Structure 1
Amino acid sequence: MSSTAVVLNNIYTGITRYYLPVVFVIGLFTNVANILIFSYGRLRTNICSWYFICLSISQILSLFFNGLYRIIVNGWNNGYDYSQISMDLCKFRGYGFVLSVVLSRHFLCLILLDRWMITSRSASLRNKSSLKVGRWKNLRNRGRAIHPSTRATQQTLNHLLIRQSRSDFQLIRLSLIQILFFIIFNAIYSTYYLYFTTTISQVRTGDRLPIELFVTNIGQCLLVTYAAVTFALYMLASSVFRQEFQECCMLSIDMFCDHYSLVSSSLTSQQLNTCISYYLNDSHQPWYTSLATLLPMLIGVFIMFRNIRRTVYDTLSVPVFLAVTGIFLFRIKKYIETIATDIQANNSTKEEYLKQIAYNHVIIGVLLILLLILQILAEKQAKVPKKKTM
């Protein structure tokens, strides 16, 4: 191996070992935040927001199939590729990476097409930019519309149209910035494969092969980086996105303070309304937002039952983890659904529901601390070498 190949390999190993893990963690959390914000409040009523949600999901796939794969193989495993063990695993990894890139381009095109339709002078094109078209064809109900006639209602509709046009303008700016940065971060990856296709018949000798391999690896690392910077682009480009993010953050802070006050004293009317609105919004969230809670639980169940016979602490951890899962699914979720469905409940009844949720959160917190202690003890016992019997 030449000195140039060694230097380039060391640079790429350093990138995958120190840079990509940071990008992966930031990208995973920010794309989940993108999904939650675009599915929250007034943004969720716009079809373009659903395209942005699908774009964030495709970027999460890119983080796993491209970013995490490179971190494990080149950063932590000294170049040993697990996908070479099985041809099916190799095909699955390659398919997942190509799928994530294709889906990102697909939804960017849909975003651009939707913004073009919303700014068109043709009324028929503007009408196609709707949730009905975005969620496939729905029942036709054009003749069943109720047309307002009073002046007050007309003023309200005008105000709503102004707010909607502002949101549309913000999404237009978001889509243009998104496409611009996608072109920038995708330039090396696309240019290299265009170059590779045109020079595929040439024999690569000397340092040409390691240099080309380094360039394509850097191009794919930039694709992973693009998946991690979209949240920052949204924050810088859109005041509506910043406002929705601020409302989500303030709501989380309020809920923390409200739960603290639940344990110590009764709720004020402002705290009660904040908690009720939070859980009402939580009960109306799309189904995929629950994956952020259910996936860690399923992974935890798999790990627990896999190591159940390793040590006695692992055996004790299983009922503790099942208790945490059961309290969340069958106690907390039940009270949240009750708050959303029990319309006739007064303030004292609603406060009692919230207290039960807070108490169950405290129990879960204690059980999680106990679970952490058991896992630390299990790891220590597993690392102790067993004495060989003569």
Structure 2
Amino acid sequence: MLVLEYKVKGKPSQYRAIEEAIRTVQFVRNKCIRYWMDAPREAKINYARLCNYVTELRNEFSFVQALNVHAGQASAERGWSAISRFYNNCKSKKPGKKGYPRFQKDNRSVEYKTSGWKLHPTCRRITFTDKKGIGELKLLGTWDIHTYPIKSIKRVRLVRRADGFYCQFAINVEVKEQLEPMGNVIGLDVGLEYFYTDSNGYQEENPRFLRKAEAKIKHAQRRIYKKEKGKNGRRKARKAFAKKHLKVSRQRNEHAKRLARNVCKSNDLVAYEDLVVRNMVKNHCLAKSINDASWTQFRQWLEYNACKFERIAVAVSPQYTSQKCSNCGAIVKKSLSVRTHICKCGCKLNRDENAALNILNLALQARGGHPRSNAVGVGVTPLVGENLLEQTLTLITESSYL
């Protein structure tokens, strides 16, 4: 599955129609969650029951009936995704909170399936044919969509962001690219001082996008509170504040894409740590720096590019990778402030390089049947808390620069 994204251009009335469609999707999704909550225990609620309930909503509310039928089903699918995720977490006895479904109040997208839209023959315009009044929108961006047949487009999504509206096309194609074997293997140790250190000793600089933009972000945030509530000036200040955060988010994503792509193209096997970032950010002293480094996003793109280029990506346990000597295997305890690994065997390395070598050694040892190894034909480890559709629409969005 491949997702192509374009910015859309339309009239203010069309933007208001998109907003109305987005609010309708949120309403349908929340009503499905409420229907599941109020249902008796003996009643078995599934996706089909929720779709039938959407039909009842269409008969009851005219603004729901104005939405395309498949868009309403996609809204019910979002509600069922939250419910099924909660059930799966309970069955697997996931520690901590199980993710009980909540009502949504910040929905930003509306999703159509194979109907409710029509692509112009030039593939530069798209028309939405439901009764919401969106009409024809102009597509701005690179024109790769014309190389794919219309029947391969399985989903069309309109997304609202701080700088405007975007249209995403989910295309059912196999994203594979055959490359010659390079004969290289590499281990990666991510960190805060450097973005990552590999087993060859190379250290990638940490860009720290949020830290660099923090002063401007705080200035924009202060301007919001100086404006009177409910006025147009406050709305503009909030929009300027959101754009600065959006820029940081895009910088992180493009940085992770570029590095992950280069690493996977130049190595046959990539080993990395199986970090639980959600537990690491509980340390309030390091939470901002960890989130700014975007390790999880980098890992997601590593796994995606490993499948795309038919490489091997292996996640190994991070225990003792910094304390263990990569030469003799002895445990050399050291605090976080100690940046050099010195062992009695005579091994003297940078702390992160030593950890990267340990990560690579663990991956090579575990290739026989490691449960976390993502070889070609095995598949990528699913992202926790997301179904396959959400992964497709959020992760596999190719960059126009790659």
TM-score normalised over the length of structure 2: 0.26
Larger Rg: 1
Question: Counting strand residues as a fraction of each chain, which structure ranks higher?
Answer: 2
